[in-house]
Structure 1
Amino acid sequence: WLIWTGKVWEWDMGGVRIAKLAKKTTRNIYREAADELDDDMRKELVKHARATERQVRLDAMIKSAESEPGIAVSLADLDANHWLLNVGNGTIGLRTGVLKPHDRADMITEILPIDHDAEATSAEWDTFLYRIFNDNSDLIAYIQRALGYSITGDQSEQAFFFCYGSGFNGKSTLLNACRLVVGNYATQVPPTAFMVDKTRRGGPDEAIASLKNKRLVCSTELEDGQRLSVSLVKRMTGGEPLWCEHKFERGYNFQPTHKLWLSGNHEPVITDTT
């Protein structure tokens, strides 16, 4: 089940909140009985409420609700607009920059942990960027565009980004800061997920499954000599649907929305440059 919070659709893990709503329905029947003036009708309502609050009846109520018109949705309907970004005080249209009120019809299941402020500035952040990029304003402008592109769900550029350099030069700080700001739209995966692994078999790949609905995907601390799985990276950045599966669950395809950001003190080995 998904529950609308007023800002975002949240997954009801374990069905806890839908169970509370079912119990609330029972309490409403009791309230209706309390307001009923007719004695016979009041007794019938109380009898109905007592029967309804039994666990088997509550479970049946929830099960019955699943088939009600407008309740069931397809996974493809969720987060379908890749140019919307949900924040604390509204939803930003990334093509226009316009902030609009939260709308349940957008079917968004992710949200940033911050409010949007179009006039916000940060001298400390600017100083950090100029320090780690050696006052190269052109490079800074490129990085800012790349990070801006990374918060969209668009994959038309078919690109991934690799931050390379010696230790303690700001790579991880940059990506960690961006990942924290982007909140649930971001995730971090181990670099081995994108490297050639001769021991990997055809079983469920949890790393790929974790990318669904993400925008910014970070992977840090590549080890010396690791060989990039070019075919896998092409699949992850090509814009085509990805197949994934969780252990003990049925697999499915999803439309990728993420941009990969790798970083490390060592360059990965790339044997295919086509």
Structure 2
Amino acid sequence: MFKGIARYVPERKKWFVYDGKCWAADIVGLMVMELAKDMADAMLVYAATIKDEDKRKAFLEGAMKWQQRRFRETYIKEAQGVYPLSMETFDQDVYLFNCDNATIDLRTGTARPHSNRDFIIMISPVVFDPEAYSERFLQFIDEVMCRNTANAKFLQ
């Protein structure tokens, strides 16, 4: 259920949670516990939609266990072995640059929406603007490349 947003990393002994832009270590386990609470609440809401009273009672009996912190802690601990990730999974594509509003593929210069499947941990607070222009930056590149246009274009 949470495979796309919460994964356990055994070598760090921590959960990593995707926040919609990047993956981050859940240092004290609060984010994962919040996900478990959300699931517990969703189960109660779902129980209200079950029309058959016997089925609803049976479902509620199990759902009420999720309201107990001890039960959620046990579930979270047991879930560590389901779909664990290695730290090597993160930031594998060195050509992906995560900005505040998009992920930039540095090979093509194109922006695309953030994706949990990129497994990016780092993010820049910069907002990507494909129309941005800086005369001073272009001058700097020209100076550094000793006015070699081909190398300057490659560097950019």
- Give the superposed CA RMSD: 2.8
Provide the rounded CA distance (Å) in 2 between the counterparts of 1:118 and 1:140. 23
- Give the 3-state SS of the residue equivalent to 1:21 in structure 2: helix
CA spacing shift, 1:12–1:141, aligned 2, 3 Å: farther
Residue 55 of structure 1 and its aligned partner are, at CA, apart by: 1.7
- Give the 3-state SS of the residue equivalent to 1:2 in structure 2: strand
- The one-character-per-residue Cα deviations of 1:151-179 (angstroms, maximum 9, x if unpaired) are xxxxxxxxxxxxxxxxxxxxxxxxxxxxx
Query: Normalised by the size of structure 1, how large is the TM-score?
Result: 0.43
1:119 counterpart (117, 131, 136):
131
Task: Give the aligned length.
Answer: 135
State how 1:183-262 maps to structure 2 within 5 Å. Answer: none
State how 1:105-184 maps to structure 2 within 5 Å. Answer: 105-122=117-134, 126=136, 138-139=143-144
- The one-character-per-residue Cα deviations of 1:226-269 (angstroms, maximum 9, x if unpaired) are xxxxxxxxxxxxxxxxxxxxxxxxxxxxxxxxxxxxxxxxxxxx
Provide the rounded CA distance (Å) in 2 between the counterparts of 1:141 and 1:75. 40
Q: Tell me what 2:98 maps to.
A: 86
Stretches of structure 2 lacking an aligned partner (at least 5 in a row): 1-14
Percent identity over the alignment is 31
| Structure 1 ranges of 4+ moved more than 3 A | 139-142
Provide the rounded CA distance (Å) in 1 between the counterparts of 2:29 and 2:54. 36
2:108 counterpart (86, 93, 96):
96
- Give the 3-state SS of the residue equivalent to 2:29 in structure 1: helix
8 Å CA contact retained: 1:85, 1:93: yes
CA spacing shift, 1:82–1:31, aligned 2, 3 Å: same
- The one-character-per-residue Cα deviations of 1:165-217 (angstroms, maximum 9, x if unpaired) are xxxxxxxxxxxxxxxxxxxxxxxxxxxxxxxxxxxxxxxxxxxxxxxxxxxxx
Residue 140 of structure 1 and its aligned partner are, at CA, apart by: 7.8
Q: Tell me what 2:56 maps to.
A: 42
